[in-house]
Amino acid sequence: MSLLDFSEYPELRYESLEVPLFQELCQVKGTFDELLVQASEGEWEEKYIEVRMLVDRPAAGCSDAIRKAFSEKGGRVLVVDVYTERHDSAALLSAEEVRIKTPEQIFEAYYQSAFGSAPPEDFEELRATFGELLELAGKEEEQ
């Protein structure tokens, strides 16, 4: 590539520039298990990867495992976008409902709209993490 510099007109300055090599951007989509298969069977050396992962419920550590699987094959995951097939936008809360509900009730309404069911009772780790976030947010507001 060539660069012409007219900043000191009428003098012209000519410079040759090296353009970096193109790296391919690949988009992959599937469930956690499908993505692991794609990572192990594909050619990912020196490719950038955008991942869309379909989940039916939250699962800690999935994104990290996906990143690791692709990096072991030489790829670089730029983003892991986690989504569900079900997201009921009609179930979203109004501004008035958000104002009168507790953060826990808002969280449960979101979970219901995203995953089609109330958070399971045995999902205490998620509930505890959410409680910690609320506690940290409360401390930030006090400062």
pLDDT for position 39? 96
Q: Tell me, what's the pLDDT at 129?
A: 81
pLDDT for the residue numbered 124 = 75
What pLDDT is attached to residue 52? 93
Burial class (CB in 10 A: 0-12, 13-18, 19+), 116: middle
H/E stretch holding 133 reads helix 124-142
Q: How many CB atoms lie under 10 A from the CB of residue 49?
A: 25
CA distance linking residue 78 with residue 69, whole number of Å: 13
Whether pTM exceeds 0.75: no
pLDDT (0 to 100) of residue 15: 73
pLDDT at 67: 95
Average confidence (pLDDT) per 10 residues, the chain, 143 residues: 65 70 86 95 92 84 93 93 70 80 82 77 76 81 69
